[in-house]
Chains A and B, each alone.
Chain A
Amino acid sequence: GAVVSQHPSWVICKSGTSVKIECRSLDFQATTMFWYRQFPKQSLMLMATSNEGSKATYEQGVEKDKFLINHASLTLSTLTVTSAHPEDSSFYICSAHRWGEETQYFGPGTRLLVL
């Protein structure tokens, strides 16, 4: 199989704090991972593409200084929401792309609530 995990699944934080979300491919190596954001009753919007060992590529309108992405190994990418504000409250989902396959495998998502 191709399993992707995310941690934590739920996080509640105060406004102004930073939150780190981990995305791991458990049984395969992922050269590319993607980070999506999903607001209530909306579709998934791609935030950034993360390639192992290089800088992430951010989609238009996504602040790279606010959403820090690190892809330090072939099985782990992290998304850090810096100085979180209530408008950052959302469902964050990562996916991992296994080399040679035209398929992304999605994690279970992390729900962030900023108070």
Chain B
Amino acid sequence: AQSVTQLDSQVPVFEEAPVELRCNYSSSVSVYLFWYVQYPNQGLQLLLKYLSGSTLVKGINGFEAEFNKSQTSFHLRKPSVHISDTAEYFCAVSAGGTSYGKLTFGQGTILTVHP
């Protein structure tokens, strides 16, 4: 079984400042890692994903994340945030085999960007 921990439930930041949203996971098997964004009353939109290869993954809207296997982390970063980045962000993992495709989500981090 997998589990995901998002270390910060809320992250306030000023516009144009950098931000990091932290995510740690645990799993007994290799996993695929994802970050999703959810705007109020909407479904989830994929920001980026790590499947294999380069540990630095670039996504949409200027976000990137780095997979660190030794620290079992997949932190999300953006060098300069905008007001429009205000949303809830979810880190998720999935494993192959019989659990193929099943996502386990973290608790979510609410990012609030202040002018």
Contact = CB atoms under 8 A, between A and B. Distances in A.
Given A43-B90, A43-B107, A104 B43 contact: no
Interface residues of B, number: 21
Contacts of A42: 107-108
Given A102-B49, A103-B49, A109 B103 contact: no
B102 A34 contact: yes
Interface string B21-57: 0000000000010101000011111100101000000
B45 A106 contact: yes
Contact of A104 (B101, B107, B108): B101
Given A102-B51, A103-B46, A106-B36, A44 B105 contact: yes
A49 B41 contact: no
Contact of A102 (B43, B90, B94): B94
Contact of B103 (A4, A34, A111): A34
Interface in A69-115: 91, 93, 95, 97, 102-109, 111
A35 to B, nearest CB: 12
Nearest to B46: A103
Residue among A44, A91, A106 with the highest chain B CB neighbour number at 10 A: A44
A108 B107 contact: no
Interface size class for chain A?
20 to 34
A109 B46 contact: no
A107 B46 CA distance: 12
A111 B101 contact: no
Nearest to A57: B102
A42 B105 CA distance: 10
Nearest to B96: A102
A68 interface: no
Interface of B: 32, 34, 36, 41-46, 49, 51, 90, 94, 101-108
